[in-house]
A and B are shown apart, each in its own frame.
Chain A
Amino acid sequence: MRSNKIAVIGDKDIVLAFKAVGMDVYPSSSAAQSADTLKSIANKYSIVFITEDLARDNNQLIERYKSRTYPAVIPIPPPSGSTGYGMEGIRADVERAVGTDILFNKED
């Protein structure tokens, strides 16, 4: 059964901020550790936020969850600012659906 809470996977320093808001947090510092965490909680939560650097390292695992309705695995930016990984995801979606990048081409 899926819990109706939200999970956050990320560096210990920043996940505490989400804990204060009432989300469940899973501190994780390495890619392997976050992969294990993600696998074990994937069926428990409907939304999992994961920091961009960890998401980038676990790209293949996250790709697997993409075709399912739940959980929604969503990358969030680290405190140092976005690395562009999240935007890349949107761009990949647009390219897959439309065949060409129609949202971002103005900036390139």
Chain B
Amino acid sequence: MAERLNVNPTRMELRNLKRRLSTAVKGHKMLKDKADEMVRRFVELAKENKRLREEIETDLAAALNAFMLARASSEDYIVEEAVAYPGASLTVKAEVGSIMSVPVPSISIEKDESGDIFPYSFAQVTAQLDSSIVTVTHLADKMVKLAEVEKSCNMLSIEIEKNRRRVNALEYVMIPMIEETIKYITMKLDENERSNTVRLMKVKTMLNDK
């Protein structure tokens, strides 16, 4: 049984509480709908997230492995010199989007294709380095997409959790409390009414008896 609010059992209080109850019930319904929709969107995103991550993890690990090998097979300074001045510049446009009014990142990639993807001459470096850099270049798009999706997933999951707390607080604390108080006030008022009637009847009999 829910604890009732500490209020005076008056008609005014009863009216206020009834209004609060209807607001709470409406709010609860809306939050619950919001939760359903958020979970639906989240599951879609999470699946996408998992798919992207699986793809990237295998490809990227292979590319990085190849890069390490390439580095090991030529002198340190050659590789460092080769990549020191990247030919292509990779910039992103980071904006704030919204899923169910949850602020999520929306990132679009802006590639400057003007430069060559190989910022070095082929004279000194090995072919392994070339291939790993090509792979990483191709993966960059996907990695940015992954960043966007994964971050959205994080934000949504946190928001869903918060929302669930709100729904539960309304459903199991707020609403039962108000209902309990309304019941208490109604009973108290009815009781007053009855005792009033009885008192009048008593007075009437006393008057008749005289």
Structural contact, B53 and A87, CB atoms closer than 8 A: yes
- Say yes or no for B177: interface residue by CB 8 A criterion: no
* In the complex, residue of chain A having the shortest beta-carbon distance to the beta carbon of B70: A17
Pick the residue among B68, B86, B94 that contacts A2 (CB under 8 A): B94
Q: Is A108 an interface residue (CB 8 A)?
A: no
Q: Which of B86, B103, B161 has the most CB of A within 10 A?
A: B86
- A79: chain B residues within 8 A (beta carbon): 61, 64-65, 67-68
Q: Are B136 and A18 in contact (CB under 8 A)?
A: yes
Decide if B150 touches A89 in the complex (CB within 8 Å): yes
Q: Contact check: which of A5, A17, A81 meets B90 at CB < 8 Å?
A: A5
CB-CB < 8 A to B158: which residues of A? 66-67, 96
Chain A CB within 8 A of B200 CB: no
Please pick, from B79, B92, B117, the residue contacting A46 in the complex, using a CB distance under 8 A: B92
Give 1 or 0 for each of B51-65: 1 = CB within 8 Å of chain A CB.
001001110110111
* CB atoms of A23 and B154 under 8 A apart: no
Shortest beta-carbon distance from A90 to chain B in Å: 5
B137:A5 contact, CB within 8 angstroms: no
Q: Which listed segment binds A: B16-24, B39-47, B186-194? A: B39-47
Question: Chain B: interface secondary structure?
Answer: helix
Let me know if A26 is at the binding interface, CB within 8 A: no
Chain B: CB-nearest residue to A14: B64
The interface stretch among A33-41, A53-61, A97-105 is A97-105
Interface residues in A61-108 by Cβ distance below 8 A to B read 66-67, 69-70, 72, 74, 76-82, 86-87, 89-90, 93-94, 96-98, 102-103
Contact B94–A4 (Cβ < 8 Å):
yes
Rounded to whole Å, the gap between the CB of A69 and the closest CB of chain B is: 5
Contact between chains at A97 and B39 (CB < 8 Å):
yes
Q: Which residues of B contact A82 (CB under 8 A)?
A: 57-58, 61
Answer whether A22 and B88 are a contact pair too, CB < 8 Å, given A74-B150, A86-B53: yes
Return chain A residues, CB-CB under 8 Å to B156: 97
Contact B92 A47 (CB under 8 A): yes
Say whether B8 faces chain A, with CB atoms less than 8 Å apart.
no
For B42, the chain A residues whose CB sits under 8 A away are 97-98
**Are B60 and A76 closer than 8 Å at their CB atoms?**
yes
B89 touches A (CB below 8 Å): yes
